[in-house]
Amino acid sequence: MELPIYLIGYMGAGKTTIGRLLAERLGWHFVDLDEAFAEINGLTPAQYIRQYGVEAFRKREKDCVEELSELPIQKVIYATGGGYPCWEDNMECLKELGTSVYLRWSDRHLAQRLETDSTDRPLLQGKSGKDLQEFVAWQMSGREPFYAQADLVIDAPLSRKEQLSAEDDEELAQYLYERIRKELL
């Protein structure tokens, strides 16, 4: 039996877009946990956070990941919400449930990607430019020790690039596919 793969990383790391491309290449199922959360609860994570607060969201999110892990589906890639691995014992849970893969980017690239991403994210609301970059750097310093516990850490090979482009997600998905085939499967 192939254990599920959990993609983890900060908001804007491409867990959903790259995860989907990766699943296509592997011929595996793909589940976006933010989307699954919305289907189960009738509210998107952003709506849930605005209505009930972050603490309540984290509890619900934890339950959802556990509930979904009990479904009898094989060969599945999950894209987790960016804050999930950094709460309580969630990182340990992920490592028990499957294989975790961290999509690592520099703070500067994350801020750059988030600047052009239209996903509704209450934690980043109203932040752009220097503010956004400083917030990402501050939050990443607390989250990185959790993310770094992943079974496989993938540094985007384009991490030295000054400007990112639309082809980057395809390139990263292909790189991830090759690393996963070689190191995990």
How far, CA to CA in Å, does 74 sit from each of 2, 57, 130, 139?
Answer: 7, 27, 43, 34
3 vs 46 by CB, closer to ligand S3P: 46
State in angstroms the smallest separation of the CB of 20 from ligand S3P.
12
Comparing CB distances to ligand S3P, the nearer of 43 and 158 is 43
Contacting positions for ligand S3P (CB under 6 A): 11, 15, 34, 45-46, 81-83, 119, 121, 123
Cβ nearer to ligand S3P, comparing 26 with 58: 58
CB 103 within 8 A of CB 8: yes
In terms of CB distance, is 4 or 113 closer to ligand S3P? 113
Q: Residue 182 CB, nearest distance to ligand S3P (Å)?
A: 26
* 61 close to 46: Cβ distance less than 8 angstroms: no
Q: Measured from the CB of residue 127, what is the shortest distance to ligand S3P in angstroms?
A: 13
Q: In the complex, what is the shortest distance from the CB of residue 49 to ligand S3P, in angstroms, rounded to a whole number?
A: 6
